[in-house]
């Protein structure tokens, strides 16, 4: 039965109950692909019904309103033909999978914005000759989702958005390694939005946007600060995502939050989507991201880059961390700021090495040009695809005068609470960290402001734990960082061998 003004907890419990209807038959990483489009369909249908009822009052009858909408789809947010509406879907007891698949594909045909978003799942799909989700399970799922309305007056977009994010977190808990493809913990995203502190009119970009969480938290931070004041120019959002199913999640998430955003599908590192008319990278006020850590790219990606992104040096093939950072930096306006989450090794690998080290040398360029504003060490076991801690790196092309030639290092490794299955940053920790950054202050055992010279003395090691020690911290090099450094050393040795071979051949000393 319809219930007005659904609160967050009711909504979360209801949607999770619906998700549980299909948890048994499907692997955890996959069942989100079925439940999320159905929740989205329910929202679309209930909103369309609300709009149809409003127009019925305006035009005098339901039939007249229906005729007007049919001839002019601009009268509604999204047009749903009668057979694709929830009221019709809910009547089906046979051939449900086939009917649902036809319904979402029909909606996508009528609404080009939803193509490749709502219509990418086949509810009738089989595996090994068996239906992945039986009609009986779909009927039970539709029945649970039919208990409440998700119309404009039933649930606030932000509350529905929070429930959608809650589901993403629950899916991440069951997805293991693959969770990192689509989900950044909500409290980390909130902290980053406070650090970026968006202003009216800002353009915000995420080059590997996953399900859109970082962009959405930036949007919510802006609303929290400025409200719905129409005199303030709202933000413009841009994101790119390489995985089609995750791209679809991002688009649905954006629509549910009633945001204006351009989300592109594609490989950012090889084919960035947002370009100027001249073919160079579009520039943004703010960039936010959580790229895959230690990603592998061939050297040719850096060497043959047509966008002039990697001006500070080519990262090693086995860790694209500083490749992503340079892409983001190249996407910033002259007074822009960026914040990204990356593995801790990105701020320390190579420091203390004799001779050259690619990551250390790139890091040195950023420090010497006074671009690194802050590095923030997060607690371990926050992220769903790794137990390793991460760092937030803040890079600012236009540091305020009092911050110039300085770097604020924040060690937040102990500011967590234990959770199941993951640790989390409580609200008070998020506020405390944000306040330290925004007020640029030192706090005993938590933060320290260092000069560029001090960073240079430490061979450009920017790990907060090196400067802000806490009891029980282990300075042992993590295994994954040791592997990255070993592979880079092997790469450098191979390069040196090839150069030596050329020289010896020229001297006639090589057979």
Residue-by-residue pLDDT tens, the chain, 511 positions = 344 567 888 888 888 888 888 766 566 557 778 888 998 999 999 999 999 999 999 989 999 999 999 999 999 999 999 999 999 999 999 999 999 999 999 999 999 999 999 999 999 988 888 888 889 989 999 999 999 999 988 888 877 887 877 887 777 776 665 555 667 888 999 999 999 999 999 999 999 998 899 999 999 999 999 887 666 678 999 999 999 988 998 999 899 888 889 999 999 999 999 999 999 999 999 999 999 998 999 999 999 999 999 999 999 998 999 999 999 999 999 999 999 999 999 999 988 877 788 999 999 999 999 999 999 999 998 887 788 899 999 999 999 999 999 999 999 999 999 988 788 999 999 999 999 999 999 999 999 999 999 999 999 999 999 999 765 444 555 555 555 556 666 666 677 677 777 777 777 777 6
Query: CATH for 186-466?
Result: 3.40.50.150
Q: Where are the domains of the chain?
A: 8-173, 186-466, 477-510
**Model pLDDT, residue 2:** 42
Tell me the pTM. 0.85
Taking each helix axis from N to C terminus, what angle separates 96-110 and 28-59, rounded to the nearest 10 degrees? 60
Sequence-distant contacts of 309-312: CB under 8 A, at least 24 apart? 309/281, 312/362, 312/365, 312/366
How far, in Å, CA of 177 to CA of 200, rounded? 37
C-alpha 25 chain-centroid distance: 28
Q: Do domains 8-173 and 186-466 have the same CATH topology?
A: no
Q: DSSP per residue over 416-447, as a string?
A: -B--SSS-B--HHHHHHHHHHHHTT--BTTTE
How far, in Å, CA of 158 to CA of 466, rounded? 40
3-class SS string, 391-422: EEEEEECCCCHHHCCEEEEEECCCCCECCCCC
CA R_g for the chain: 25
Which of 1.20.1260.30, 3.90.700.10, 3.30.565.10, 1.20.1260.10 would CATH assign to domain 8-173? 1.20.1260.30
Q: What count of other Cβ atoms lies within 10 Å of the Cβ of residue 103?
A: 24
Which residue shows structure tokens 């299955």? Answer: 421
User: What single-letter DSSP state applies at residue 77?
Assistant: S
Answer whether 155's CB lies under 8 Å from 42's CB. no
Helix (H, G, I), strand (E, B) or coil at 175: helix
**Model pLDDT, residue 1:** 38
Instruction: Quote the tokens at residue 370.
Output: 């006074």
How far, in Å, CA of 214 to CA of 196, rounded? 11
C-alpha 376 chain-centroid distance: 18
**Model pLDDT, residue 469:** 79
Phi, psi of 428 (to 5 degrees): -65, -30
Residues in the chain: 511
Of all helices (H) and strands (E), which one includes residue 500?
Answer: helix 479-506
Which residues does 294 contact at the CB level (< 8 Å), separation at least 6?
Answer: 318, 319, 320, 321, 343, 345, 480, 484
Instruction: Quote the tokens at residue 485.
Output: 């450094």
């Amino acid at each position: 039965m319809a219930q007005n003004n659904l609160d967050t907890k009711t909504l979360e419990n209801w949607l999770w109950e619906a998700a549980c209807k299909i948890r048994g038959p499907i692997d955890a990483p996959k069942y989100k692909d079925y439940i999320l489009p159905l929740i989205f369909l329910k929202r679309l249908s209930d909103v369309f019904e609300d709009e149809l009822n409003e127009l019925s009052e305006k035009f005098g009858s339901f039939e007249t309103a229906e005729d007007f909408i049919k001839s002019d789809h601009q009268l509604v947010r999204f047009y749903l033909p009668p057979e694709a509406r929830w009221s019709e879907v809910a009547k089906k007891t046979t051939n449900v999978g086939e009917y649902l698949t036809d319904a979402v594909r029909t909606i996508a045909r009528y609404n080009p914005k939803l193509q490749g978003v709502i219509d990418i799942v086949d509810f009738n799909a089989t595996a090994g000759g068996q239906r992945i989700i039986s009609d009986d399970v779909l009927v039970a799922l539709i029945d649970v989702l039919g208990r409440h309305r998700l119309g404009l007056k039933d649930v606030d977009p932000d509350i529905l958005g929070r429930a959608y994010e809650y589901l993403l977190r629950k899916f991440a808990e069951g997805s293991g390694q693959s969770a990192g493809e689509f989900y950044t913990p909500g409290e980390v995203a909130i902290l980053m939005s406070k650090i970026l502190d968006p202003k009216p009119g800002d353009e915000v970009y995420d080059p590997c946007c996953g399900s859109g969480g970082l962009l959405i938290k930036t949007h919510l931070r802006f609303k929290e600060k400025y409200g719905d004041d129409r005199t303030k120019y709202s933000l413009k959002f841009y994101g790119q995502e390489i995985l089609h199913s995750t791209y679809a999640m991002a688009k649905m998430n954006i629509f549910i939050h009633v945001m204006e955003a351009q989300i592109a599908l594609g490989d950012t590192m090889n084919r960035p989507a947002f370009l100027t008319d001249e073919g160079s990278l579009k520039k943004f006020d703010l960039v936010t991201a959580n790229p895959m850590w230690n990603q592998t790219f061939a050297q040719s990606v850096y060497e043959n880059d047509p966008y002039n992104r990697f001006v500070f040096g080519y990262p090693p093939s086995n860790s694209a961390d500083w490749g992503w950072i340079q892409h983001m930096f190249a996407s910033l306006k002259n007074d822009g700021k960026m914040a990204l989450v990356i593995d801790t090794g990105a701020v320390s690998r190579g420091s203390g090495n004799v001779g050259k080290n690619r990551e250390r040398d790139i890091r040195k360029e950023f420090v010497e040009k006074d671009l690194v504003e802050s590095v923030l060490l997060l607690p371990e076991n926050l992220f769903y695809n790794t137990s390793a801690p991460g760092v937030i790196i803040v890079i600012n092309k236009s540091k305020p005068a009092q911050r110039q030639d300085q770097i604020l290092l924040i060690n937040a490794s102990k500011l967590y609470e234990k959770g199941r299955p993951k640790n989390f940053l409580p609200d008070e920790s998020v506020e405390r960290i944000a306040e330290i950054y925004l007020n640029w202050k030192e706090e005993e055992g938590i933060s320290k402001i260092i000069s560029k010279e001090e960073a240079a003395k430490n061979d450009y090691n920017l790990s907060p734990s090196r400067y802000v020690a806490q009891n029980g911290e282990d300075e042992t090099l993590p295994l994954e960082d040791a592997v990255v450094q070993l592979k880079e050393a092997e790469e450098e040795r191979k390069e040196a061998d090839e150069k030596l071979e050329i020289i010896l051949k020229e001297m006639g000393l090589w057979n």
